[in-house]
Amino acid sequence: MDSILVRGNGPLSGQIPIAGAKNACLTLMPATLLTEEPLTLVNAPRLSDIRTMTELLQSLGAEVTSLQSGQVLAMSSHDISNQTADYDIVRKMRASILVLGPMLARCGHAVVSLPGGCAIGARPVDLHLRALEAMGAELELRDGYVHASAPRGLRGGTIDFDFASVGATENALMAATLAKGTTVISNAAREPEIVDLATCLRAMGAHIDGDGTSTITIEGVDRLGGATHTVVTDRIELGTYMLAPAICGGEVELLGGRISLVEAFCEKLDAAGVDVSETAAGLTVKRRSGDIKAVDVTTEPFPGFPTDLQAQMMALLCTAQGTSVLEEKIFENRFMHAPELIRMGADIEVHGGTATVKGVKRLKGAPVMATDLRASVSLILAGLAAEGETRVARVYHLDRGYEQVVSKLSGVGADIERISGS
């Protein structure tokens, strides 16, 4: 099993290109099931999760071709030959549930295994199912599968989410494009990935209004066409690499970045003593003189502080001056990286959904183990500024969400390498 070896090596300098958003692309890909015509995605990230979604779509009869070294995905679902999303594929990735709404809307029937993914809490799919029921779907849970049917087609309905779930909003949005009549989604998620999906669906002929707000209205159409769509910049990869010069010092430009994608995150960086400025090509990040200052962080749905940047932010705050409190309000069990940071000398106490981090002068390299996707990169960030050598094991988690981590960080001066089979 591969591992990542990191040695603290001082300030960073240079440019890091930011890929297309994993979470956006994994939502856009199932949209091909809504139409017989071709859908092409440009700026696709090259990740194992994208390969898993490709495998899933192909198992349903879709044609998916990877072009330009994987950065363009050409898809066609003119023939959906199979309406069962099998457990052996779905268990690998939670986003697999996003084939349910499109397949049900177009075919009137779908059988989808309950999904897997990172072990960061229960993350139930009940909101997805209730949204589809509000559009007239008949659902049954049997032997670990969702059996869904709408023999007379889906119809417009009113959906009021208890929680602004990104995945449930995406599933409902796609299904509603082919439903008869008007669907209104209240307490909808507002993330940039939702806006990106709606933009693509409109290019395919959907009638959608209100994306980016908490109320989305969809007027169903009889059919959707094809489109070519550019995937939005990955705001989580962007935020992750913004933390590299914040932790190590130096100045790095993140190509393709925009403050509007990570505004709440930028506010916390500013309070901690990190300058962020927009350039013609992206964002420049530079730590101000002196120590990083402690800040308190509470994760919230967009436009609040992203839960997917909480682990990385904790790595920064481990050496901040003072005590920081991080409160996780999105997912349970999302402090599994804390014990590994403690192995590196961090002073962290976790009580339920709250972690208290007392800054130490410096972290020390140690063998650590990644527990999930975002935890894996937080340990790499910590290792960049630690004294000595840090070896991060189980980096298959990393491959799900970050492309070319070693080359991107080594390109700005980090001492990092991937060790095969160890």
Count CA atoms within 13 Å of residue 27 on its CB side: 28
What stretch of H or E contains 217? Answer: strand 215-219
How deeply is 71 buried, as exposed, middle or buried, from its count of CB atoms within 10 A (0-12, 13-18, 19+)? middle
- How far from 131 is each of 139, 170, 217, 221, 377, CA to CA, in Å? 11, 10, 14, 18, 34
- C-beta of residue 153 within 8 angstroms of C-beta of residue 180: yes
How deeply is 178 buried, as exposed, middle or buried, from its count of CB atoms within 10 A (0-12, 13-18, 19+)? buried
- The two tokens of residue 344 are 């590196």
Q: Report d(CA 311, CA 239) in Å as an integer.
A: 11
Q: Report d(CA 35, CA 103) in Å as an integer.
A: 10
Q: Report d(CA 237, CA 312) in Å as an integer.
A: 11
**Reduced to 3 DSSP states, what percent helix, strand and coil does the chain have, rounded to the nearest 5?**
35, 30, 35
Q: Report d(CA 323, CA 221) in Å as an integer.
A: 54
Q: Report d(CA 133, CA 111) in Å as an integer.
A: 15
Q: Report d(CA 16, CA 64) in Å as an integer.
A: 29
- How far from 160 is each of 43, 128, 164, 178, 417, CA to CA, in Å? 33, 11, 9, 19, 48
- C-beta of residue 77 within 8 angstroms of C-beta of residue 32: yes
Annotated binding site for UDP-N-acetyl-alpha-D-glucosamine: 94, 123-127, 308, 330
Annotated binding site for phosphoenolpyruvate: 22-23
DSSP output for 7-68 = E----EEEEEEPPBPHHHHHHHGGGGGG-SS-EEEES----HHHHHHHHHHHHTT-EEEEEG
- C-beta of residue 412 within 8 angstroms of C-beta of residue 244: yes
Q: Report d(CA 301, CA 20) in Å as an integer.
A: 20
Query: Which residue is catalytic, options 25, 118, 248, 266?
Result: 118
Residue 118 annotated as catalytic: yes
Annotated binding site: 22-23, 94, 123-127, 308, 330
Catalytic positions, written as ranges: 118
